[in-house]
A and B are shown apart, each in its own frame.
Chain A
Amino acid sequence: MTVASLIFILLGAVATIGAVMTVFARDVTRMAIGLGTFLVAVAGFFVYWGATFLGVAQLFVYVGGVLVLVLFAIMLVHRNPEGSPHLETRHDVSALAVAGGLFIMVVMALRDDVPASVDQGISSGPQELAEAFLGPMLTHFEIGGVLLLAVLVAVVVIVGGEER
Chain B
Amino acid sequence: MSLLVLTMGLFSLGLYGVLTRRDLVAVLASIEVMLGAATLLLVGLAAAGTPAGPSEGAVEATGVMIIVLAAAEAAIGLALVISVAKRFKTTRVDDLAEVKG
What A residues does B36 contact at CB under 8 A?
38-39, 42, 62
Interface size on B, residues (CB 8 A): 72
Q: Are the C-beta atoms of B4 and A118 separated by less than 8 Å?
A: no
Tell me if B96 counts as interface (CB < 8 A to partner A). Answer: no
> Chain B residues with Cβ under 8 A from A51's Cβ?
43, 46-47, 60, 63
Closest B residue to A11 by CB, please name it. B6
- In the complex, the answer to whether B25 meets A89 with C-beta atoms within 8 Å is no
B70 & A50 in contact (Cβ 8 Å cutoff): no
- The yes or no answer to A7 lying at the interface (CB within 8 A) is no
Question: Which A residues are in CB contact (< 8 Å) with B39?
Answer: 42
Asked if B13 contacts A20 (CB within 8 A), the reply is yes
Query: Could you tell me if A103 and B12 are in contact, using CB atoms closer than 8 angstroms?
Result: yes
**0 or 1 for each of A69-87: is its CB under 8 Å from B? (1 = yes):** 1101110111000000001
Contacts A116-B2, A140-B65 given; does A124 touch B28 at CB 8 Å = no
- Enumerate the 4 nearest inter-chain pairs by beta-carbon distance, A residue then B residue, closest first: A128-B57, A23-B17, A95-B19, A132-B57
A binding-site residues for B, Cβ under 8 Å: 8, 12, 15-16, 19-20, 22-24, 28, 31-32, 35, 38-39, 42, 45-46, 49-51, 53-54, 57-58, 61-62, 65-66, 69-70, 72-74, 76-78, 87-92, 95-96, 98-100, 102-103, 106-107, 110-111, 114-124, 128-129, 131-133, 136-137, 140-141, 144, 147-148, 151, 154-155, 158-159, 161-162
Using a CB–CB cutoff of 8 Å, the interface residues on chain B facing chain A are: 1-6, 8-17, 19-26, 28-30, 32-33, 36-37, 39-40, 43-50, 55-65, 67-72, 74-76, 78-83, 85-87, 91-92
